[in-house]
Amino acid sequence: MAAKRASEKAKSPRVFGQARRPTKMFRAGLYARVSTNDQQTVPLQIRALREYATRRGWTIALQVREVGSGAAQRRLREQLMDAARRREIDIILVWRLDRWGRSVADLLTTLQELEHLAVGFVSLTEALDLTTPAGRAMAGMLAVFAGFERDILRERVRAGLAHVRQNGKKLGRPISAGLHADQVRKLYRTGVSKAEIARRLRIGRTSVRRILG
């Protein structure tokens, strides 16, 4: 009897504490991203993602590898998002959350869209599965952090503007260079250089050249 239970347990492995669901063959999209100076870890990520997908009984429908640095735009990530929008994949599997999102706000935006599309999302190293109740609770926490991040950014912008005003600099769009046309021509006729005219009138050199033809 004990041997029978052990055999049944071996045939039904649990991943992240969740039982395998054999009723549906999920189509997975894999996403691996590394920095420009760390490209040797791509095979490691891909191998781990493929092994995990296999253990879950998923079919690998799409595999994306992206190399970039910092918070640069993740252009190839859009391949997976487009596949999700076309209903070509059922779940996205990533190595780590910071590989997927440029910021908390960006991460939350993509996760909300995937939820709307009924496409799952799993982060391997954080053991985060948004198809589970615990994972959805984590998504709610991300929403809180995204709001906090936006508030911090807004305060930084306000502080920067206040600092500029304190230094006596004017904010807003510059006065149209066309309003200085007469002054530009007058100064130029007196022998003032185009660069000096631009400096005196606080307009761009291109505007000065355009006025003078």
The catalytic site residues sit at: 35
Q: Residue 97: which of 106, 107, 87, 86 has the closest Cα?
A: 107
Cα(183)–Cα(36) distance, integer angstroms:
51
The 8 Å CB, 24+ separation contacts for 79-85 are 80/29, 80/31, 81/110, 81/113, 83/29, 84/29, 84/113, 84/114, 84/117, 84/119, 85/117
Per DSSP, 24 falls in state S
Per DSSP, 174 falls in state P
